[in-house]
A and B are shown apart, each in its own frame.
Chain A
Amino acid sequence: DIQMAQSPSSLSASVGDRVTISCRSSRHINFSLNWYQQKPGKAPKLLIYGASNLESGVPSRFSGSGSETDFALTINGLQPDDFATYFCQHTYGVPYTFGQGTNLEIK
């Protein structure tokens, strides 16, 4: 199975900051990497698919990059609504493993 290692597990930042969350896969997965945002008590929400494609309706301050084994989610100019938990996921064949999550907190 492909394992996903996400870092950091938690992150404190201020409104307006630029933050980057990393995700590394244990094998090459081409561009089959997605990012989701989850708020407490809510379902996950798709942000980025195919490593760098912004889902419709998601603010342009979110961006994704990377390929093969190393990926990143960047948020430029944090907004109060962005403080949440973020998960990466590969879809390069089953099982579709998720990263362990990054909890983004207000500093």
Chain B
Amino acid sequence: EVLLLESGGALVQPGGSLRLSCEVSGFTFSDYAMSWVRQAPGKGLQWISSISGGGTSYDADSVKGRFAVSRDNSKNTLYLQLNSLRAEDTGVYYCAKDRVVGGLGYFEKWGQGTPVTVSS
């Protein structure tokens, strides 16, 4: 069974930092790209970052230079380093397992999410 378990969410002051983790099981982690998606309270979904199995990453403009996605394939774990946090970064952060079939990509499985609150 594919499982994704996020952790690391917390209450942090504006300007602070946080590292989120997503530990996975049930599949060969290094074979799949992974993504982070966030959801502000009562709002929709926003793609944040994606990283290939080999470590090539892509970030949304809104977090470029502040957030950094990485992965440790030996530990089956995806990370998201959040720096220079702002109030608008508040929300639930989900990790997702990417899949591509016939050139068509999608987020096949999601974790349960970890909440981040940026407030003084």
Q: Which residues of A contact B (CB under 8 A)?
A: 31-32, 34, 36, 38, 42-46, 49-50, 53, 55, 87, 89, 91, 94-101
- Alpha-carbon separation in the docked complex, A5 to B60 (Å): 19
A49:B112 contact, CB within 8 angstroms: no
By the criterion CB–CB under 8 Å, are B101 and A96 in contact? no
Residues of A close to B58: CB separation below 8 A: 94-95
Given the known A-B contacts A43-B94, A43-B113, A95-B60, are A49 and B46 also in contact in the complex, defined by CB atoms under 8 Å? no
User: Are B45 and A98 in touch, CB under 8 angstroms?
Assistant: yes
Q: Chain A residue with minimal CB distance to B47?
A: A96
Most buried by B among A31, A46, A55, A99: A46
Q: How far is the CA of A99 from the CA of B45 in the complex (A)?
A: 8
In the assembled complex, the CB of A97 is this many whole angstroms from the nearest CB of chain B, namely: 7
By the criterion CB–CB under 8 Å, are B44 and A94 in contact? no
- Chain A residues in 8 Å Cβ range of B113: 43
A91 and B44 contacting across the interface, CB-CB below 8 Å:
no
Q: Is the CB of B105 within 8 A of A32?
A: yes
The reply on B79 being an interface residue by CB < 8 A is no
23 pairs of residues in contact across A and B, judged by CB atoms under 8 Å: A32-B105, A38-B45, A42-B112, A43-B111, A43-B113, A44-B94, A46-B106, A49-B101, A49-B104, A53-B101, A53-B104, A89-B45, A89-B107, A91-B106, A94-B60, A95-B47, A95-B60, A96-B35, A96-B50, A98-B44, A98-B46, A99-B44, A101-B44
Known: A43-B113, A50-B102, A95-B61. A100 touches B44 (CB 8 A): yes
